[in-house]
Copies of this chain bind each other. A is one copy, B any other.
């Protein structure tokens, strides 16, 4: 029975997240975290050998908590555009209080070699789940995705989402209006392009795009 242990672990993680939210990642020391959780510093290290491990735990927690919200978003009626928008807004809503914290993390985002990067090996499972959300959105949409794009299109949409989230993180306009604007103006184009890409006429263009996706998310990459 690991109930007690689970309890302590949770207590520490929660204290960490609270501090991360309040002050940001770098500004929260392991000492502070332990103190906030009312345990000894060493104990925090017992459960989370590195400060980064707290972040990984955060990722996993987020993923679990967000799942039902995503499912609700996907279950909604509405066209593909609405579904994509809903998926993105689930993240904005959920991460609302964590913008500052995410800002600190996004430093790692560019480096696929870093454990905490959304493109790393270590976050692969979470990433796959994120991509799957868009796969589902496409499947439940009015769009007939041509066979050769079935694999790539969810990845492209996931990347699009990541871009939006990154922009949102650093969007200092009140209520992140600029991000909303960007989403409004770009989403239409994106969906239009997806639709256009399905025309038989577009086959050569599709080939080009697929090549690009292959290079970016290619075998040798840390991304896949």
Residues of chain A touching chain B, judged by Cβ–Cβ distance below 8 Å, are 103, 106-113, 166-167, 169-170, 172-173, 178, 181-182, 185-186, 189, 208, 211-212, 215-216, 218, 220-222
Contact = CB atoms under 8 A, between A and B. Distances in A.
Given A107-B107, A178-B220, A220-B178, A112 B212 contact: no
Contacts of A221: 172, 178
Q: So how many copies of this chain end up in the complex?
A: 2
A106 B117 CA distance: 13
A103 B111 contact: yes
A172 B112 CA distance: 10
Contact of A173 (B112, B178, B220): B220
Contact of A110 (B106, B182, B185): B106
Given A172-B222, A212-B186, A110 B166 contact: yes
A106 B172 CA distance: 21
A216 to B, nearest CB: 7
Contacts of A220: 172-173, 178
A199 to B, nearest CB: 17
Complex A-B, nearest 8 residue pairs according to Cβ-Cβ distance, in ascending order: A107-B107, A182-B215, A106-B110, A181-B215, A173-B220, A185-B211, A185-B212, A112-B170
Contacts of A212: 182, 185-186
A185 B218 CA distance: 14
Contacts of A182: 212, 215-216
Contacts of A189: 208
A24 B75 CA distance: 48
A197 B12 CA distance: 55
Contacts of A112: 170
A111 B170 CA distance: 7
Contacts of A181: 215
B103 A218 contact: no
Contacts of A108: 107
A3 B111 CA distance: 41
Given A186-B212, A189-B208, 14 more contacts: A107-B107, A107-B110, A109-B110, A110-B169, A110-B170, A111-B170, A112-B170, A113-B170, A113-B172, A172-B221, A172-B222, A178-B221, A182-B216, A185-B212
